[in-house]
Structure 1
Amino acid sequence: MSKKVGILGGTFNPPHIGHLIIANEVLHALNLDEVRFMPNATPPHKRMDERVSANNRLEMVKRAIKDVPKMAVETIELDRGGTSYTFDTMELLLAREPFSKFFFIIGGDQVEYLPNWYRIDDLVKKVQIVGVPRPNTSIETAYPIIKLDIPQIDLSSTLVRNRLENGKTTRYLIPELVRDFIQKEKLYEI
């Protein structure tokens, strides 16, 4: 019997409750065995924040999902390093776990960008892409994706970073264990 695994990739700089809501909603809607949070090394479409290391981002993800059933961390892109193309990563995961069925979870912003993804026509033959709405985006696409209507929260890592940099509250926006780590390590301070 194959395992049904959700993959939620991102920079997670920092991880916030929006990420957790997405993972939980997809986990239950599709009856997955688990959802893995996959921090990327160097995303092809974003400039990385040099102040926060990959190890810091990984530690924040671990803390965000600590003791959450059916949530795990996938470090394959961090282990490999370099630019993280979803097609290459999924090829590696499929080779490592040939009996798993992968569900790659993306937000509306990425659904709109799908035509520009590296080897997208090959990727959709290998994994099931799951699109979830984000505020002010559409999950309409010609690609064969599962569209899930989930509760939306207008929250981004950028907003959280701005709040942290300006000493404003992040209570309820990021998990307490993540907030504690950010304060201890003095991340995002200007």
Structure 2
Amino acid sequence: MKKTGLFFGSFNPIHIGHLILANYILENSDMEEVWFVVSPQNPFKEKKSLLKDHHRLDMVQLALKNYPKMRASNVEFSLPQPSYTIDTLTYLHEKFPEHLFALIMGEDNLESLAKWKNADTLIRNHQIIVYPRNFEGEKKDHEYLQHDHISLINAPVVELSATEIRNMIKAGKNVRPMLPPEVFDYLDGSSFYK
């Protein structure tokens, strides 16, 4: 069984913070691969700032091309909307039985985990790797962190956000150091986020 971490996100756009985190997990856990699962646009929400699915997937593929243990996944593009993590995991288990999937999530998501669809099943059947985040609200020793399947890793907290990057692009500011070079080139000269 190949241990594979699933990093879900809109990646709008993917930035170096995502790569730093995925690389840290690969180097400091038993994960053998990290898959970046690009979340599709919710058809019920109008999000003007969200690039079309295929553009975000293209950028993730470009960003990962020099990282053999990381790969882009468009698995949620063909699943019913809205996507629920538990349904995606069930589908991936059936399609890739040789992989043992773990979930990668930010510490801020622990607060809402109990509200996720089939949260108990999710926690019982999957390893969850939690990375630290600075977030509004009280940081506390979360009860979930006592669970055998949930572990907090000591990854660096990268204070980079895709929202901030989009705002900087819109304002005509230089975002080159924040993006993988291939992603910068993809966006440079386009009208994306402007």
Identify whether the pair has TM-score above 0.5, normalized to the shorter chain: yes
Amino acid at match of 2:32: D
Q: Cα gap change, 1:81/1:48 in structure 2, threshold over 3 Å: closer, same or farther? A: farther
Root mean square deviation, CA, Å = 2.0
Aligned-residue offset at 1:76: 0.6
Q: Partners in 2 of 1:69 and 1:175 — Cα distance?
A: 15
Structure 1 residue 185 corresponds to structure 2 residue 186? no
Amino acid at match of 2:112: Y
Q: Partners in 2 of 1:67 and 1:160 — Cα distance?
A: 22
* Matched ranges for 1:10-21 at <5 A: 10-21=9-20
Q: Partners in 2 of 1:170 and 1:47 — Cα distance?
A: 26
Deviates more, 1:178-187 or 1:16-25: 178-187
2:175 to 170, 177, 180: 170
* Matched ranges for 1:19-38 at <5 A: 19-38=18-37
* Matched ranges for 1:38-49 at <5 A: 38-42=37-41, 48-49=47-48
Q: Partners in 2 of 1:79 and 1:168 — Cα distance?
A: 36
- Residue 117 of structure 2 aligns to a residue whose secondary structure is coil
Count of paired positions: 187
Structure 2, unmatched stretches of 5+, are: none
Q: Partners in 2 of 1:103 and 1:68 — Cα distance?
A: 19
Q: Cα gap change, 1:50/1:79 in structure 2, threshold over 3 Å: closer, same or farther? A: farther
Aligned-residue offset at 1:47: 6.5
1:148 to 153, 163, 166: 153
Q: Cα gap change, 1:17/1:78 in structure 2, threshold over 3 Å: closer, same or farther? A: same
Q: Cα gap change, 1:47/1:19 in structure 2, threshold over 3 Å: closer, same or farther? A: farther
Q: Cα gap change, 1:49/1:10 in structure 2, threshold over 3 Å: closer, same or farther? A: farther
Q: Cα gap change, 1:108/1:56 in structure 2, threshold over 3 Å: closer, same or farther? A: same
Q: Residues 49 and 193 of structure 2 are in contact (CA less than 8 Å); yes or no, is this contact kept in structure 1?
A: no
The CA deviation string for residues 51-95 of structure 1, in whole angstroms up to 9 with x for no partner, is 510011101111111111201111110232521110100010111
* Matched ranges for 1:89-104 at <5 A: 89-104=88-103
Aligned-residue offset at 1:18: 1.0
Deviates more, 1:135-144 or 1:172-181: 135-144
* Matched ranges for 1:37-186 at <5 A: 37-42=36-41, 48-49=47-48, 52-80=51-79, 82-136=81-135, 138=139, 140-143=141-144, 144=147, 145-186=150-191
- Residue 37 of structure 1 aligns to a residue whose secondary structure is strand
Q: Partners in 2 of 1:43 and 1:130 — Cα distance?
A: 25
Q: Partners in 2 of 1:47 and 1:85 — Cα distance?
A: 19
- Residue 106 of structure 1 aligns to a residue whose secondary structure is strand
Structure 1, unmatched stretches of 5+, are: none
Same amino acid, percent of matched pairs: 35
Q: Cα gap change, 1:75/1:152 in structure 2, threshold over 3 Å: closer, same or farther? A: same
- Residue 176 of structure 2 aligns to a residue whose secondary structure is coil
Amino acid at match of 1:78: F
TM-score, structure 2 normalization: 0.88
